[in-house]
Amino acid sequence: MHGRVHAQRLQYGAPCITRKPHRIFRLRCGSCIPAATVSHTLATLCERSGQVQTTMLDRMRKLGFVFSMSIMPLLVLAEPLAEPGPVQRPHIEVELVSEVEHVQPGEPFRVGLRMLPDAHWHTYWKNPGDSGLTTEMEWTLPEGAGASGIAWPYPERVPMGHLVNYGYGGEHLLPVTITPPEDLAPGEEFPIAVAAEWLVCEEICIPGDAELSMTLPVRAGAAPKNDSVADLFARADERRPEIVDWPARFDTSGGQLAVQVESDELPTDAEWTVFVGAENIVDHARPAETAQLEGVLQAGQPLSPYLGEIPDAMPVVFVDDRTGRAFEVTATPGSLQSTGAAAASAGPTEPPIGWGLALLLALAGGVLLNLMPCVFPVLSIKAMSFVAGAGQDQRAHGLAYTAGVVLSFAVLAGVLLALRAGGEAIGWGFQLQSPWVVGVLAYVLFALGLSLSGLFAFGNRLMGAGQQLTEREGVSGSFFTGVLACIVASPCTAPFMGTALGAAVLMPWPTAMSIFLALGFGLALPMLVLSFSPALARRLPKPGPWMETFKQLMAFPLYLAVVWLLWVLGRQVGADGLAAVLGGMVVLAFVLWLGGRKSRGATMNSIRHVALALGAVAAVAALGAGVRMQQSPGDVENAWWEDYSAARLAELRGDPERAVLVNMTADWCITCKVNEGVALNTDAVREALEAHEVVYMKGDWTRRDEAITAYLSEFGRNGVPLYVLYPHDGGEPTVLPQVLSPGLVVGAIESL
């Protein structure tokens, strides 16, 4: 008797629907009997013979029915006929092979499923990636024998459109270890059968399966190797990760899977490719970024938009692309040494400048921040309030505006310092890395713009305009304007700001807070001075009908700010997410319009309130749906820069013939975008880069990226932009100013 042994199945995520083709079952004699037609066939033969009478014919029909019913259980219980040797299926050849030529009692040996897909076709790893189905095996072995799970070789990345899968192309082997029982007697035979199921894909996918078998003799001596398949097993062993017990932890906060491994045995000059063994955890189309320093290896990869259940043990395979050597660790949830890249420990531990200088730089940076384009829409609101209150005492409004700015900077700084103290790798402007914040801010500025355009009366309370300018509501409006100025201005970086804020996050929190307050006070200072200037108030034009036109004109800077925010949001959540948010803004406009209409009668008033409530819910729901979406990876094949990678930067630094220009940027950083448009993306700079063999690298901080945060901290910064020029000879890098011109960049390159 043969017992059925099931191999361990390594499955992750939701199971795929598979179908098995119809199989023909055979009896031991090998004859195929269609049981459903047995009775009819016997009767037909008898009728054609002409040798029986009607009564005999009836008896034969009954006998045929009884025969068919008695044979049916045998047909049901019969097993599929397992096929020895290679088997052809659509677009693939499969075969069951053995590493040894005979079996020793109690001695484990290996067999394997050899798979040879057609050119450009592939099968799948234990984690198929964005799509696909892992190969499965079910073993039938003699009583007392056992089969291990598949010893998976590490896979290849298989791009399929905007998806990335993990699998194998060309001839490959999936090895399994068989452990025979101790009581086998030499001279016996050891039959092996496997039911294999797989998915083979190119542009289309075809599920397949086969029943494969082989029989090996049982002998007492050492089992010689099967030379015909030795290369297959050797190649599988070369790609099989070494299972190591190095301490490994993982964390999924901040939208990324961060894995940290500690071992003195880690190769020091490796170029790592990372494969997460659990399905529906990471965004496979965005490869993991790695950093390594002093026995600590850390990898970070964005989480999947279809994130599944987080396992208690995360299998992760690290492949050294230089040597082909691979390691598999099992990471468990836990806190990491640093949620940034491992290289962050090389960053400065002392502030680069003193407190007094940092305070002056922050104050100057705040004043210059008023000249940045991101602040202009909010300043237009404040300018309108000055015009509307011409001839009146503006000092209360100036103080309220200053209080709104300074207190908002204090709140943002407190959150930033608290999160960084807790180990979070964030920097200044971190709030606009959240699609929720960007979407809500777009809604708010859009509503303010509609108010200025006259769609509804909303400006008196929030912007301190009109006849109530000297009343409490107007002062509250000035305070709110200051809050809005802080939120919109914080992603921008003015000259002197970067050095001051980079020093602040390395200082004790009371000192650091004073620097952030100085920055906020600098932003509010010009408006505060204007509000305390009677001479300016006397020169302002008298209020009149022209103010309505001026108010409507001031709506257009707000609309431009909304366009900028929506562009940032589109880069974060993609076209589908942006469409959902735009739909929500249309609903928001309807709600605001309906709220400004006068009601006629109690019934209409009730209907209006219900419509307002439903509209508000719909607008919030559209915003929530949009910001939860994920941007699809863009086509960067034609980009003339390289994406930032710590490993790639280290490689380029080791080449004396290459220099490197690193640009740390973000889509929500207007200063960054202006510098790129005015200087970095010009023909003069591109020609200089090419002529002097300078590699241009860009780090995108639009969404939270701990590797970039760690890089910024190495230069005493906690915000973008940051421009670093590395010379050819591996010397000390040069940090370029935060406001660039083509001549400045070209001059720096030519001085290398």
pLDDT in tens, 1-43: 344 333 333 333 333 333 333 332 323 233 333 333 333 433 3
Cis peptide before 721 (omega within 30 of 0): yes
Measuring CA to CA, which residue among 528, 569, 338, 597 is closest to residue 439? 569
Kindly state whether residue 635 falls inside one of the protein's structural domains.
no
Kindly state whether residue 472 falls inside one of the protein's structural domains.
yes
- Number of folded domains in the chain? 5
Measuring CA to CA, which residue among 124, 237, 127, 141 is closest to residue 180? 141
481 and 374 in a common domain: yes
Task: Retrieve residue 561's tokens.
Answer: 């700010």
Last residue of a domain, one of 504, 528, 551: 551
359 and 229 in a common domain: no
413 and 336 in a common domain: no
Kindly state whether residue 65 falls inside one of the protein's structural domains.
yes
Kindly state whether residue 228 falls inside one of the protein's structural domains.
yes
How do beta strands 722-726 and 248-251 pair? Answer: unpaired
Residue type, 320: D
Measuring CA to CA, which residue among 147, 156, 97 is closest to residue 125? 156
Long-range contact pairs involving 148-151 (C-beta distance under 8 Å, separation at least 24): 148/7, 148/8, 148/176, 148/177, 148/178, 148/179, 149/7, 149/8, 149/9, 149/10, 149/176, 150/7, 150/10, 150/126, 150/174, 150/175, 150/176, 151/175, 151/176, 151/177, 151/236, 151/240
Q: CA-to-CA distance for 668 and 430, rounded, in angstroms?
A: 10
Contact 96, 214 (CB under 8 A): yes
Number of neighbouring beta carbons within 10 Å of residue 700: 16
pLDDT at res. 639: 61
Measuring CA to CA, which residue among 492, 514, 525, 494 is closest to residue 401? 525
pLDDT at res. 473: 47
Q: CA-to-CA distance for 303 and 308, rounded, in angstroms?
A: 10
E strand map for 269-365 = 272-276, 289-293, 296-302, 314-320, 326-333
Q: What is the DSSP letter of 35?
A: G
361 and 342 in a common domain: no
Residue tagged 């249309």 (tokens): 586
At 14, is the secondary structure helix, strand, or coil? coil
CA–CA distances in Å: residue 160 to residues 165, 325, 691: 7, 26, 36
At 711, is the secondary structure helix, strand, or coil? helix
Kindly state whether residue 593 falls inside one of the protein's structural domains.
no
- DSSP code per residue over 45-96: HHHHH--S-HHHHHHHHHHHHHHHHHHHHHHHHPPP--B-S-EEETTEEEEE
pLDDT at res. 720: 80
Phi, psi of 471 (to 5 degrees): -90, 175
Q: Specify the CATH number for the domain of residue 93.
A: 2.60.40.1250
Last residue of a domain, one of 346, 368, 385: 346
725 and 684 in a common domain: yes
Q: CA-to-CA distance for 710 and 705, rounded, in angstroms?
A: 9
Q: CA-to-CA distance for 452 and 556, rounded, in angstroms?
A: 9
295 and 152 in a common domain: no
Q: CA-to-CA distance for 684 and 690, rounded, in angstroms?
A: 10
175 and 49 in a common domain: no
Q: CA-to-CA distance for 539 and 549, rounded, in angstroms?
A: 20
At 608, is the secondary structure helix, strand, or coil? helix
Contact 399, 638 (CB under 8 A): no
Q: CA-to-CA distance for 665 and 680, rounded, in angstroms?
A: 12
pLDDT at res. 426: 52
Element (H, E) at 195: strand 189-201
Measuring CA to CA, which residue among 749, 747, 737 is closest to residue 365? 737
Kindly state whether residue 702 falls inside one of the protein's structural domains.
yes
Pinpoint the alpha helices (H) of 532-554: 534-539, 546-553
543 and 395 in a common domain: yes
Task: Retrieve residue 231's tokens.
Answer: 């290369």
Measuring CA to CA, which residue among 154, 161, 159, 148 is closest to residue 125? 154
Last residue of a domain, one of 240, 271, 296: 240
| Owning domain of residue 105 | 87-240
209 and 99 in a common domain: yes
441 and 537 in a common domain: yes
Contact 419, 254 (CB under 8 A): no
Contact 495, 739 (CB under 8 A): yes
Q: CA-to-CA distance for 479 and 134, rounded, in angstroms?
A: 59
- DSSP code per residue over 201-237: ESSSEEEEEEEEEEEEEB-SSPPPB-GGGHHHHHHHH
Number of neighbouring beta carbons within 10 Å of residue 515: 24
Q: What is the pTM of this model?
A: 0.43
292 and 172 in a common domain: no
pLDDT at res. 73: 45
Kindly state whether residue 564 falls inside one of the protein's structural domains.
no
Q: How far is CA 385 from the centre of its chain?
A: 44
222 and 317 in a common domain: no
Residue type, 204: I
- ∠ Cα 292 298 302 (to 5°): 135
pLDDT at res. 31: 31
The radius of gyration of the chain's CA atoms, rounded to the nearest angstrom, is: 36
What lies within 8 Å, CB to CB, of 294 at 6+ separation is 342, 345
Kindly state whether residue 577 falls inside one of the protein's structural domains.
no
- Can you state the angle between helices 435-452 and 602-627, rounded to 10 degrees? 140
Measuring CA to CA, which residue among 372, 635, 734 is closest to residue 519? 372
Low-confidence ranges of the chain (pLDDT < 50): 1-80, 338-349, 390-391, 458-473, 632-638
Q: CA-to-CA distance for 481 and 486, rounded, in angstroms?
A: 9
